[in-house]
Amino acid sequence: MSNIISTQIKTHRKYGGVVPEIASRKHLEAISGVIEESLLAANVTFDDLDALAVTYAPGLVGALLVGVSTAKALAFSLHKPLVGVHHIRAHICANYIEHKDLEPPFVCLVASGGHSHIILAESYTKYKILGQTRDDAAGEAFDKVARVIGLGYPGGPVIDKEAKNGNPDFVAFKQVSFGKDSFDFSFSGIKTGVINYLHNLEQKGETYNRADIAASFQKSVVEVLSKNLVAAAKKYGVDKIAIAGGVAANSALRSELEKRKENLKLYYPSPILCTDNAAMTACCGYYEFLNGNFKDMTLNAIPYLSVEQN
Protein backbone atom coordinates (compact mmCIF):
# COMPACT_ATOMS: atom_id res chain seq x y z
CA MET A 1 0.00 0.00 0.00
CA SER A 2 3.03 2.23 0.47
CA ASN A 3 6.77 1.68 0.40
CA ILE A 4 8.62 4.59 1.99
CA ILE A 5 12.42 4.39 1.82
CA SER A 6 14.76 6.59 3.80
CA THR A 7 18.20 6.06 2.29
CA GLN A 8 21.52 6.81 4.03
CA ILE A 9 23.70 6.22 0.98
CA LYS A 10 24.81 9.86 0.75
CA THR A 11 26.01 9.86 4.36
CA HIS A 12 28.03 6.66 4.00
CA ARG A 13 29.43 7.54 0.57
CA LYS A 14 32.18 9.74 1.97
CA TYR A 15 33.50 6.77 3.99
CA GLY A 16 33.30 4.36 1.03
CA GLY A 17 30.99 1.98 2.91
CA VAL A 18 28.45 1.66 5.72
CA VAL A 19 29.67 2.91 9.13
CA PRO A 20 27.64 0.86 11.66
CA GLU A 21 27.41 3.50 14.41
CA ILE A 22 26.27 6.18 11.98
CA ALA A 23 23.79 3.75 10.44
CA SER A 24 22.04 3.06 13.75
CA ARG A 25 21.91 6.74 14.68
CA LYS A 26 20.40 7.58 11.27
CA HIS A 27 17.81 4.79 11.74
CA LEU A 28 16.80 6.32 15.05
CA GLU A 29 16.44 9.77 13.50
CA ALA A 30 14.39 8.49 10.56
CA ILE A 31 12.08 5.82 11.94
CA SER A 32 9.20 7.89 13.36
CA GLY A 33 8.95 10.01 10.23
CA VAL A 34 9.05 6.96 7.96
CA ILE A 35 6.24 5.25 9.90
CA GLU A 36 4.11 8.37 9.82
CA GLU A 37 4.71 8.88 6.11
CA SER A 38 3.98 5.25 5.23
CA LEU A 39 0.61 5.34 7.00
CA LEU A 40 -0.22 8.63 5.32
CA ALA A 41 0.76 7.39 1.84
CA ALA A 42 -1.28 4.18 2.35
CA ASN A 43 -4.18 6.22 3.67
CA VAL A 44 -4.58 4.05 6.78
CA THR A 45 -4.24 4.54 10.52
CA PHE A 46 -2.72 2.32 13.21
CA ASP A 47 -6.22 0.95 13.88
CA ASP A 48 -6.39 -0.55 10.38
CA LEU A 49 -3.31 -2.73 10.90
CA ASP A 50 -3.59 -6.48 11.60
CA ALA A 51 -0.05 -6.86 12.91
CA LEU A 52 3.39 -5.25 13.11
CA ALA A 53 6.15 -6.92 11.08
CA VAL A 54 9.78 -6.05 11.69
CA THR A 55 13.18 -7.23 10.47
CA TYR A 56 15.05 -8.67 13.46
CA ALA A 57 17.84 -10.70 11.79
CA PRO A 58 20.43 -10.83 10.32
CA GLY A 59 22.24 -7.51 9.98
CA LEU A 60 23.93 -4.67 11.83
CA VAL A 61 22.67 -5.05 15.36
CA GLY A 62 22.38 -1.33 16.15
CA ALA A 63 20.20 -0.68 13.12
CA LEU A 64 18.07 -3.79 13.72
CA LEU A 65 17.53 -2.79 17.36
CA VAL A 66 15.95 0.51 16.35
CA GLY A 67 13.33 -1.32 14.28
CA VAL A 68 12.76 -4.09 16.81
CA SER A 69 12.31 -1.68 19.75
CA THR A 70 9.94 0.51 17.75
CA ALA A 71 7.83 -2.44 16.54
CA LYS A 72 7.66 -3.91 20.05
CA ALA A 73 6.55 -0.57 21.49
CA LEU A 74 3.86 -0.21 18.82
CA ALA A 75 2.63 -3.80 19.10
CA PHE A 76 2.44 -3.48 22.91
CA SER A 77 0.63 -0.16 22.95
CA LEU A 78 -1.73 -1.00 20.09
CA HIS A 79 -2.45 -4.56 21.37
CA LYS A 80 -1.55 -6.02 17.96
CA PRO A 81 0.47 -9.17 17.16
CA LEU A 82 4.20 -8.88 16.50
CA VAL A 83 5.79 -10.74 13.56
CA GLY A 84 9.57 -11.18 13.29
CA VAL A 85 10.96 -11.13 9.75
CA HIS A 86 14.22 -12.69 8.56
CA HIS A 87 15.87 -10.21 6.18
CA ILE A 88 16.92 -12.81 3.59
CA ARG A 89 13.43 -14.35 3.54
CA ALA A 90 12.09 -10.84 2.94
CA HIS A 91 14.41 -10.37 -0.07
CA ILE A 92 13.04 -13.63 -1.54
CA CYS A 93 9.43 -12.55 -0.83
CA ALA A 94 10.02 -9.33 -2.81
CA ASN A 95 9.34 -11.54 -5.85
CA TYR A 96 5.73 -12.24 -4.78
CA ILE A 97 4.78 -8.56 -4.77
CA GLU A 98 4.73 -8.16 -8.54
CA HIS A 99 4.45 -11.79 -9.66
CA LYS A 100 1.10 -13.10 -8.53
CA ASP A 101 1.69 -16.38 -10.42
CA LEU A 102 4.88 -17.21 -8.50
CA GLU A 103 4.38 -19.95 -5.90
CA PRO A 104 6.88 -22.15 -4.07
CA PRO A 105 8.77 -24.38 -4.65
CA PHE A 106 11.45 -22.49 -6.56
CA VAL A 107 15.18 -21.85 -6.25
CA CYS A 108 16.24 -18.28 -5.48
CA LEU A 109 19.60 -16.54 -5.67
CA VAL A 110 19.89 -13.91 -2.93
CA ALA A 111 22.86 -11.63 -3.50
CA SER A 112 23.26 -8.45 -1.49
CA GLY A 113 25.92 -6.44 0.30
CA GLY A 114 26.13 -8.97 3.12
CA HIS A 115 24.83 -12.25 1.65
CA SER A 116 25.17 -14.56 -1.34
CA HIS A 117 23.01 -17.63 -1.09
CA ILE A 118 21.23 -20.11 -3.32
CA ILE A 119 18.08 -21.06 -1.47
CA LEU A 120 15.28 -23.54 -2.08
CA ALA A 121 11.98 -21.88 -1.14
CA GLU A 122 10.06 -25.04 -0.21
CA SER A 123 7.03 -23.08 0.96
CA TYR A 124 6.28 -19.46 1.92
CA THR A 125 7.88 -20.05 5.31
CA LYS A 126 10.28 -22.98 4.80
CA TYR A 127 13.72 -22.49 3.28
CA LYS A 128 16.77 -24.64 2.63
CA ILE A 129 20.27 -23.35 1.82
CA LEU A 130 21.74 -25.10 -1.23
CA GLY A 131 24.86 -22.98 -1.64
CA GLN A 132 26.55 -19.89 -0.26
CA THR A 133 29.66 -17.76 -0.47
CA ARG A 134 32.76 -19.06 1.26
CA ASP A 135 34.13 -15.52 1.69
CA ASP A 136 32.88 -12.12 0.43
CA ALA A 137 29.28 -11.44 -0.55
CA ALA A 138 28.74 -10.60 -4.23
CA GLY A 139 27.64 -7.02 -3.45
CA GLU A 140 30.68 -6.56 -1.21
CA ALA A 141 32.93 -7.54 -4.14
CA PHE A 142 31.15 -5.00 -6.38
CA ASP A 143 31.66 -2.33 -3.72
CA LYS A 144 35.37 -3.14 -3.24
CA VAL A 145 36.22 -3.32 -6.93
CA ALA A 146 34.37 -0.04 -7.59
CA ARG A 147 36.48 1.61 -4.89
CA VAL A 148 39.72 0.25 -6.39
CA ILE A 149 38.93 1.56 -9.87
CA GLY A 150 37.75 4.88 -8.45
CA LEU A 151 34.03 4.59 -9.14
CA GLY A 152 32.74 5.35 -5.64
CA TYR A 153 30.03 3.82 -3.44
CA PRO A 154 27.78 1.86 -3.70
CA GLY A 155 29.71 -0.12 -6.28
CA GLY A 156 26.98 -2.25 -7.85
CA PRO A 157 25.03 0.43 -9.71
CA VAL A 158 28.15 2.31 -10.87
CA ILE A 159 29.90 -0.84 -12.14
CA ASP A 160 26.67 -1.90 -13.86
CA LYS A 161 26.55 1.48 -15.65
CA GLU A 162 30.27 1.73 -16.47
CA ALA A 163 30.38 -1.87 -17.76
CA LYS A 164 27.92 -1.00 -20.51
CA ASN A 165 30.76 0.87 -22.29
CA GLY A 166 33.39 -1.82 -21.70
CA ASN A 167 34.54 -5.11 -23.17
CA PRO A 168 33.55 -8.02 -20.88
CA ASP A 169 36.16 -10.25 -22.56
CA PHE A 170 39.03 -7.83 -21.98
CA VAL A 171 40.40 -9.87 -19.03
CA ALA A 172 39.18 -13.31 -17.91
CA PHE A 173 39.11 -12.98 -14.10
CA LYS A 174 39.32 -16.53 -12.81
CA GLN A 175 36.39 -18.07 -10.94
CA VAL A 176 36.66 -20.74 -8.28
CA SER A 177 34.64 -23.93 -8.58
CA PHE A 178 33.94 -26.21 -5.64
CA GLY A 179 32.99 -29.22 -7.76
CA LYS A 180 29.87 -30.09 -9.70
CA ASP A 181 27.84 -31.02 -6.62
CA SER A 182 28.52 -27.75 -4.81
CA PHE A 183 26.64 -24.52 -5.42
CA ASP A 184 28.99 -22.47 -3.22
CA PHE A 185 30.75 -19.34 -4.47
CA SER A 186 33.94 -17.41 -3.80
CA PHE A 187 34.16 -13.76 -4.75
CA SER A 188 37.28 -12.82 -2.88
CA GLY A 189 39.39 -14.56 -5.57
CA ILE A 190 37.80 -12.57 -8.39
CA LYS A 191 38.24 -9.34 -6.42
CA THR A 192 41.92 -10.14 -5.72
CA GLY A 193 42.33 -11.00 -9.41
CA VAL A 194 41.22 -7.47 -10.31
CA ILE A 195 43.48 -5.86 -7.70
CA ASN A 196 46.53 -7.88 -8.83
CA TYR A 197 45.87 -7.16 -12.49
CA LEU A 198 45.72 -3.41 -11.85
CA HIS A 199 48.79 -3.55 -9.63
CA ASN A 200 50.78 -5.23 -12.43
CA LEU A 201 49.71 -2.57 -14.91
CA GLU A 202 50.67 0.14 -12.47
CA GLN A 203 54.15 -1.35 -11.98
CA LYS A 204 54.66 -1.41 -15.72
CA GLY A 205 53.47 2.20 -15.89
CA GLU A 206 50.51 1.24 -18.09
CA THR A 207 47.03 2.74 -17.93
CA TYR A 208 43.72 0.94 -18.31
CA ASN A 209 40.18 1.59 -19.43
CA ARG A 210 37.91 1.54 -16.36
CA ALA A 211 34.92 0.35 -18.36
CA ASP A 212 36.80 -2.76 -19.59
CA ILE A 213 37.80 -3.71 -16.03
CA ALA A 214 34.24 -3.13 -14.75
CA ALA A 215 32.76 -5.21 -17.59
CA SER A 216 35.26 -8.07 -17.16
CA PHE A 217 34.83 -8.21 -13.38
CA GLN A 218 31.04 -8.10 -13.70
CA LYS A 219 31.06 -10.86 -16.32
CA SER A 220 33.03 -13.17 -14.05
CA VAL A 221 30.71 -12.61 -11.05
CA VAL A 222 27.52 -12.80 -13.07
CA GLU A 223 28.58 -16.01 -14.82
CA VAL A 224 29.25 -17.91 -11.63
CA LEU A 225 26.02 -16.66 -9.98
CA SER A 226 23.93 -17.69 -13.00
CA LYS A 227 25.65 -21.04 -13.55
CA ASN A 228 25.12 -22.13 -9.94
CA LEU A 229 21.51 -20.95 -9.80
CA VAL A 230 20.50 -22.87 -12.95
CA ALA A 231 22.45 -25.98 -11.88
CA ALA A 232 20.80 -25.96 -8.42
CA ALA A 233 17.31 -25.63 -9.95
CA LYS A 234 18.00 -28.60 -12.21
CA LYS A 235 19.35 -30.75 -9.39
CA TYR A 236 16.33 -30.02 -7.17
CA GLY A 237 13.85 -30.52 -10.03
CA VAL A 238 12.03 -27.19 -9.81
CA ASP A 239 10.76 -25.34 -12.89
CA LYS A 240 11.10 -21.79 -11.51
CA ILE A 241 14.07 -19.65 -10.52
CA ALA A 242 14.14 -16.20 -8.93
CA ILE A 243 16.73 -13.61 -7.95
CA ALA A 244 16.65 -11.18 -5.04
CA GLY A 245 18.79 -8.71 -3.06
CA GLY A 246 20.63 -5.60 -4.21
CA VAL A 247 22.75 -7.45 -6.80
CA ALA A 248 19.55 -8.77 -8.44
CA ALA A 249 19.16 -5.23 -9.80
CA ASN A 250 22.21 -5.89 -12.00
CA SER A 251 21.36 -5.69 -15.69
CA ALA A 252 24.09 -8.13 -16.81
CA LEU A 253 22.88 -10.75 -14.30
CA ARG A 254 19.37 -10.49 -15.70
CA SER A 255 20.46 -10.89 -19.31
CA GLU A 256 22.87 -13.73 -18.49
CA LEU A 257 20.05 -15.62 -16.76
CA GLU A 258 17.71 -15.02 -19.69
CA LYS A 259 20.37 -16.72 -21.85
CA ARG A 260 21.01 -19.64 -19.51
CA LYS A 261 17.59 -20.43 -18.08
CA GLU A 262 16.50 -22.85 -20.86
CA ASN A 263 12.97 -24.02 -19.92
CA LEU A 264 13.05 -22.58 -16.38
CA LYS A 265 10.75 -19.67 -15.66
CA LEU A 266 12.74 -16.68 -14.36
CA TYR A 267 11.40 -14.13 -11.86
CA TYR A 268 12.95 -10.92 -10.59
CA PRO A 269 11.63 -7.91 -8.69
CA SER A 270 11.77 -4.33 -9.98
CA PRO A 271 15.09 -2.70 -8.99
CA ILE A 272 13.39 -0.70 -6.20
CA LEU A 273 12.22 -3.98 -4.61
CA CYS A 274 15.68 -5.60 -4.99
CA THR A 275 17.51 -3.23 -2.66
CA ASP A 276 16.34 -2.99 0.97
CA ASN A 277 12.73 -1.85 1.31
CA ALA A 278 9.72 -2.14 3.61
CA ALA A 279 7.30 -3.73 1.13
CA MET A 280 9.30 -6.96 1.04
CA THR A 281 9.37 -7.05 4.85
CA ALA A 282 5.59 -6.63 4.98
CA CYS A 283 5.12 -9.33 2.32
CA CYS A 284 7.28 -11.81 4.23
CA GLY A 285 5.56 -10.81 7.49
CA TYR A 286 2.20 -11.57 5.88
CA TYR A 287 3.19 -15.19 5.18
CA GLU A 288 4.73 -15.64 8.66
CA PHE A 289 1.47 -14.18 10.07
CA LEU A 290 -0.66 -16.67 8.09
CA ASN A 291 1.61 -19.43 9.37
CA GLY A 292 0.96 -18.30 12.98
CA ASN A 293 4.60 -17.41 13.55
CA PHE A 294 4.35 -14.64 16.15
CA LYS A 295 6.95 -13.15 18.49
CA ASP A 296 6.53 -11.74 21.97
CA MET A 297 8.11 -8.89 23.91
CA THR A 298 11.32 -10.91 24.34
CA LEU A 299 12.11 -10.49 20.62
CA ASN A 300 15.68 -9.28 20.17
CA ALA A 301 17.86 -8.23 17.24
CA ILE A 302 20.11 -11.07 16.01
CA PRO A 303 23.19 -10.22 13.89
CA TYR A 304 23.60 -13.75 12.44
CA LEU A 305 20.74 -16.17 11.82
CA SER A 306 20.36 -18.83 9.13
CA VAL A 307 17.52 -18.31 6.66
CA GLU A 308 16.37 -21.83 7.60
CA GLN A 309 15.46 -20.54 11.08
CA ASN A 310 12.88 -17.99 12.11
CB atoms within 10 A of CB 87: 23
238 or 274: whose CB is closer to ligand KG4? 274
Residue 82 pairs in a beta bridge with 52, 295
The reply to whether 17 sits near ligand KG4 by the rule CB under 6 A is: no
Touching ligand KG4, residues 24-43 (CB under 6 A): none
- Give the footprint of Zn ion on this chain (CB under 5 A): 112, 276
Q: Does residue 185 touch ligand KG4 according to CB under 6 A?
A: no
Binding partner at 139 among Zn ion, ligand KG4, none, C-beta below 5 to 8 Å by kind? ligand KG4
Only one of the segments 27-35, 65-73, 97-105, 244-252 lies at the binding site for ligand KG4 (rule: CB under 6 A); that segment is 244-252
Q: What SS3 state is found at 120?
A: strand
Q: Which of 85, 90, 104, 143 binds ligand KG4 (CB under 6 A)?
A: 143
Answer yes or no whether residue 250 interacts with ligand KG4 by CB under 6 A. Answer: yes
Taking CB under 6 A as the rule, does residue 114 contact ligand KG4? yes
Pairing of strands 106-111, 116-121: antiparallel
- Strand pairing category for 127-132 and 116-121: antiparallel
How do 106-111 and 240-244 pair as beta strands? parallel
Residue closer to Zn ion, measured from CB, 112 or 310: 112
- Among positions 84, 104, 131, 155, the unique one binding ligand KG4 when judged by CB under 6 A: 155
Of 72-80, 191-199, 245-253, 288-296, which segment contacts ligand KG4 by CB under 6 A?
Answer: 245-253
Tell me which of 160, 162, 212, 288 binds ligand KG4, using CB under 6 A: 160
Which is nearer to Zn ion, 131 or 245 (by Cβ)? 245
* Closest CB 113 distance from ligand KG4, rounded Å: 3
Q: Beta partners for 83?
A: 53
Nearer to ligand KG4, 80 or 147 (CB): 147
Q: Which amino acid makes up residue 306?
A: S
- Residue 212 interacts with ligand KG4 (CB under 6 A): yes or no: no
**Cα distances (angstroms) measured from residue 83 to each of 61, 128, 282:** 18, 21, 10
CB atoms near residue 10 (< 10 Å): 7
HSE toward the beta carbon, residue 215, CA cutoff 13 A? 15
Size of the site for ligand KG4 (CB under 6 A): 18
DSSP string for 228-275: HHHHHHHHTT-SEEEEESGGGG-HHHHHHHHHH-TTSEEE---HHHHS
Quick one: 266 exposed, middle or buried, by C-beta within 10 A (0-12, 13-18, 19+)? middle
Element housing 52 (H / E): strand 52-57
Residues of the shown chain interacting with ligand KG4 in the complex, contacts defined by CB under 6 A = 112-114, 139, 142-143, 154-157, 160, 245-247, 249-250, 275-276
